[in-house]
Structure 1
Amino acid sequence: MSARNRLLSGLLVGLALLQTACSSSAAEEATVLPAPLHDQAPGTAHSQTAVFAGGCFWGVQGVFQHLKGVQNVVSGYAGGAANTAQYERVSGGDTGHAEAVQITYDPQQVSYGTLLQVFFSVAHNPTELNRQGPDTGTQYRSAVFPQTDEQRNLTQAYISQLESAHVFNAPIVTRLESTQGFYPAETYHQNFLTNHPTHPYIVINDLPKVHQLKQLFAERYNDNPVLVQTW
């Protein structure tokens, strides 16, 4: 059983108290990180992709689905081979995959730099090594899979900027990994936050992230999430 599933089995008792405590704690800790000093070069394209891994993909997908300029966000697996890109295999932690999201966005409306700012600010904690919150294992690592050389350079520059500014109390452990393909997760994982807003795991771990996005990036927040058209 994965760490996430083990957690779910023990959350039903006292859930109301946990919801209040976790939500208020997350809101108090939220801070806007500085915007990247270097950002995406202007262009004419209206659709580009980015791939981020930051723990359980339910919450990361849910955050970016509420960001203006994002056209689609798919939960999936990155970092391993196609034949091991299934949830039960990835949950074993030995496939090389990370739970990840593929973000399709309009660079005329939201830049890659803004995606990075949201990713490091509210979508996950980039100082947790091979874990996020209650979930442990390499499949929950913090990673960016640059789709272009420009994305790689911008990501490296932003991590260096954040480290120089000492915005975190611990080192950033986010990895830049080579793109080996992105594999969409099973249908039941798509739009999980929107479809199951009262699920204990979502209430405690992921809804606070969406609330932080609305609080800290109000001008960029989209009330209506962009949902995956499931297959």
Structure 2
Amino acid sequence: MSRRTLFSLSSLTVTLALAVLSACSAPAIGRDVVALPDPKVDAAAPASHTDQVAVLAGGCFWGVDAVFKHVKGVKQVWSGYAGGNAGTATYSQVSDGDTGHAESVKILYDPAQISYGQLLRVFFSVATDPTQLNRQGPDTGTQYRSAIFYGSDEQQRIATAYIAQLTAAKAFDAPIVTQVVPLKGFYTAEAYHQDYFRLNPNNPYIIINDAPKVAHLKQVFPELYRSAETVVSVQLH
């Protein structure tokens, strides 16, 4: 069922969705959720606390945004669009699936607290199903594809090596289809998409598809989990 359909559902459906969710143990991302192995190739610990940026796409940006806002070392996360050009970076256009954009998140993080490789470990473990091509859960189309938009040669090297590591270890039952592509630009989504998970906890889509991701983060990465309220508020540049 699409988000547009869920938007129109009644409050009774919210109650039913909660009941179904509590009775169903199936993972929201369509597979068993486990902590994947540490990346063998990762960034070296920096000498100073200079903030860095990661841009990831893994389906609807509401859930991916929510996951990383609960990760220690992450300072802020924005929902937005990457993969297309600035002129088509609006929700109404991206939703048509023909702009080249993917719903993405921009993550500002402290590499002295969490490395780029560890962000990817969280991404593949609980934020997305990297074996789903041009879809994620109930959402279909290239705008919901799984992608890593690298901003440096080092990020490309770490992402490529980690996918190869997971493939060799047969971490998933199907091939990983996550793209590793250069970041040409990130365009912040409309204001009503920002912090959507926290502001709309009773939305049926959030209850069914995104709340389990945050719960899985807390379950399989207790050492990395923290409450969203501790996220530092900073300006996007």
Coarse TM-score class (shorter-chain normalised): over 0.9
Q: For residues 88-145 of structure 1, give each alpha carbon's deviation from its aligned partner in whole angstroms, at most 9, with x where no partner exists.
A: 0000000000000000000000000110000000001000000000000000000000
Rounded to whole Å, the distance in 1 between the matches of 2:105 and 2:4 is 20
Rounded to whole Å, the distance in 2 between the matches of 1:230 and 1:157 is 32
The one-letter amino acid of 1:86's match is T
Aligned position for 1:25: 26
Q: 1:130 to 1:185 in 2, by over 3 A?
A: same
- Asked if the contact 1:77–1:185 (Cα under 8 Å) also holds between the matched residues in 2, the reply is yes
1:157 has 2:161 as partner: yes
Rounded to whole Å, the distance in 1 between the matches of 2:193 and 2:234 is 12
Which residue, out of 125, 129, 132, partners 1:125?
129
1:190 has 2:186 as partner: no
The one-letter amino acid of 2:26's match is S
Rounded to whole Å, the distance in 1 between the matches of 2:84 and 2:101 is 4
The one-letter amino acid of 2:181's match is E
Rounded to whole Å, the distance in 2 between the matches of 1:140 and 1:83 is 19
1:180 has 2:214 as partner: no
Q: For residues 1-37 of structure 1, give each alpha carbon's deviation from its aligned partner in whole angstroms, at most 9, with x where no partner exists.
A: x932124445854323322245x22289221111101
Which residue, out of 75, 80, 83, partners 2:84?
80
Unmatched runs of 5 consecutive residues or more in structure 1? none
| TM-score, with structure 2 as normaliser | 0.91
Rounded to whole Å, the distance in 2 between the matches of 1:161 and 1:96 is 28
Q: 1:18 to 1:8 in 2, by over 3 A?
A: farther
Rounded to whole Å, the distance in 2 between the matches of 1:64 and 1:214 is 11
- Asked if the contact 2:6–2:204 (Cα under 8 Å) also holds between the matched residues in 1, the reply is no
Q: Which moved more, 1:39-48 or 1:67-76?
A: 39-48
Q: For residues 144-194 of structure 1, give each alpha carbon's deviation from its aligned partner in whole angstroms, at most 9, with x where no partner exists.
A: 000110000000000000000001000000001121100000000000001
Rounded to whole Å, the distance in 1 between the matches of 2:34 and 2:216 is 9
Rounded to whole Å, the distance in 2 between the matches of 1:178 and 1:155 is 11
- SS of match in other structure, 2:182: coil
Rounded to whole Å, the distance in 2 between the matches of 1:70 and 1:58 is 16
Deviation at 1:59, TM superposition (A): 0.2
Rounded to whole Å, the distance in 2 between the matches of 1:136 and 1:81 is 21
Q: 1:75 to 1:228 in 2, by over 3 A?
A: farther
| TM-score, with structure 1 as normaliser | 0.93
Which residue, out of 135, 140, 144, partners 2:139?
135
The one-letter amino acid of 1:17's match is A
1:60 has 2:59 as partner: no
- Asked if the contact 1:77–1:101 (Cα under 8 Å) also holds between the matched residues in 2, the reply is yes
Q: 1:208 to 1:125 in 2, by over 3 A?
A: same
- SS of match in other structure, 2:161: helix
1:216 has 2:220 as partner: yes
The one-letter amino acid of 2:149's match is F
Q: Which moved more, 1:36-45 or 1:63-72?
A: 36-45
Identity of aligned residues (%): 55
Which residue, out of 146, 149, 173, partners 1:145?
149
The one-letter amino acid of 1:90's match is V
Rounded to whole Å, the distance in 1 between the matches of 2:210 and 2:56 is 16
